[in-house]
Structure 1
Amino acid sequence: MKLDQIGQALASCYDNLVAEGMPDALAALVRRVDRAEREARAKAQAPASRIALVVEDEDETRDLAESVLEETDLHVVGCASAEQALTYLLEHGGEVALVFADIRLAGDMDGVQLARAIATLWPCTRLVVTSGVDPEPGDALPEGAVFIPKPWRAFDVLVEAERATRDRTPPVA
């Protein structure tokens, strides 16, 4: 008997079992089977996973941004430097929907330079740049990039993630 058939049989009996007083262990099993079935259906219907790349040299801030973005449909990958992000993008650039990067980064490149490189090489990638200070006048972000000042709100990051998954066309005109 297939897992989905077992799940359907258990789900159909669930109401009766609850009314009669189902043991907790059986109730937990029914919920697990039902959840597994829903997840399998969602995976079968969902398009290939896209990626959110978080580029931040401060571990705690990177972890927080990753946690926020894990609430989306995007697979989240963290990098501590622009160089590390570019190395990742060389292999997975076409799968990256969103890059969320700090301006000040460890290494030779900063977040503005990273954003310019991504805008040129992967123009369909949504760029979100953040910092505790406004970008310097000479550090103009590429057209279509979004600046979110620190401390950023999780809602603003989630809005940009939604745009990244919804809009597959380049943000530049």
Structure 2
Amino acid sequence: MKKHQTSAPLPLTDTLSPGLPLDQIGLKLASIYDDLVSEGVPEHLAALVRRVRQADDRAPTLREAAPAPTVHEHPRLALVVEDEPEIRALAETLLEETELDVVGCDSAEAALSVLQARGGDVALVFADIRLAGKMDGLQLARAVATLWPRARLVITSGHHLPRPDLPAEAVFIAKPWRALDVLVEAERAAAESPPPVL
């Protein structure tokens, strides 16, 4: 078999660099096609080169054909933590009017499960102090303030609560809360930029 020699071998980065458009790769392959065939390259490889050449003749450049890639974002969440089903349903319905997706939980433990799975997506935690389960809303608020500090914390209760018991980051809204107060906090949470993806 006759060996083909060129004056200078092409560096691999010329054809494998991610910034090189497909049309240029096709042209390079087409330019060496005849040399490949003369060296006795298997027919399936020669057929691949022919297909690339034909596609290159018909297709626009990569920049024209493909739109710029977009970063897929998970929807941001509002977490409603309330053990009374009617009040939880009311808060969920209210928050569904915002741009946040809403997840309802009847206990702090259920809320922590959601936070562990999607903590970076949670923009708002709206929690009652008295909850079903072993943890109360204050313990949940402290956990959120420590582990997910970018989530906006809104704590609610029908009982008087002295401010020092709440984390500094938390907002307190007494029950019965007004829809407008909750919506204002949800809008503030939605307006804050999500954490960067690393």
Q: Give the TM-score category using the shorter length.
A: 0.5 to 0.7
AA at the equivalent of 1:51:
L
Q: Secondary structure at the match of 2:103?
A: strand
The 1-side partners of 2:130 and 2:90 are apart by: 17
AA at the equivalent of 1:146:
V
**Is 1:163 equivalent to 2:188 in the alignment?**
yes
Q: Secondary structure at the match of 1:128?
A: strand
Q: Verify the 8 A CA contact 1:49 1:74 in the aligned structure 2.
A: yes
* TM-score, with length taken from structure 2: 0.60
Per-residue CA deviation, residues 121-151 of structure 1 (Å, 9 max, x unaligned), is: 00000000000012257x6111110000000
Q: Verify the 8 A CA contact 2:121 2:194 in the aligned structure 1.
A: no
**Is 1:102 equivalent to 2:128 in the alignment?**
yes
> Which residue number corresponds to residue 139 of structure 2?
113
Deviation at 1:48, TM superposition (A): 4.1
* TM-score, with length taken from structure 1: 0.68
> Which residue number corresponds to residue 174 of structure 2?
149
Deviation at 1:169, TM superposition (A): 7.7
**Greater RCO structure (CA 8 Å; 6+ sep):** 1
Q: Secondary structure at the match of 1:63?
A: helix
The 2-side partners of 1:168 and 1:101 are apart by: 22
Q: Secondary structure at the match of 2:133?
A: coil
- Residue 80 of structure 1, aligned match among 101, 106, 111: 106
Q: Secondary structure at the match of 2:165?
A: coil
Q: Verify the 8 A CA contact 1:124 1:168 in the aligned structure 2.
A: no
The 2-side partners of 1:107 and 1:136 are apart by: 23
The 1-side partners of 2:73 and 2:112 are apart by: 25
Q: Secondary structure at the match of 1:77?
A: strand
> Which residue number corresponds to residue 127 of structure 1?
153
Deviation at 1:168, TM superposition (A): 3.3
Q: Which structure is larger by alpha-carbon Rg, 1 or 2?
A: 2
The 2-side partners of 1:53 and 1:76 are apart by: 6
Q: Secondary structure at the match of 1:147?
A: strand
Unaligned segments of structure 1, at least 5 residues: 1-43
**Is 1:52 equivalent to 2:78 in the alignment?**
yes
Q: CA RMSD in A?
A: 2.0
Flag the structure with higher helix content.
Answer: 1
Unaligned segments of structure 2, at least 5 residues: 1-69
The 2-side partners of 1:135 and 1:109 are apart by: 17
Q: Secondary structure at the match of 1:97?
A: strand
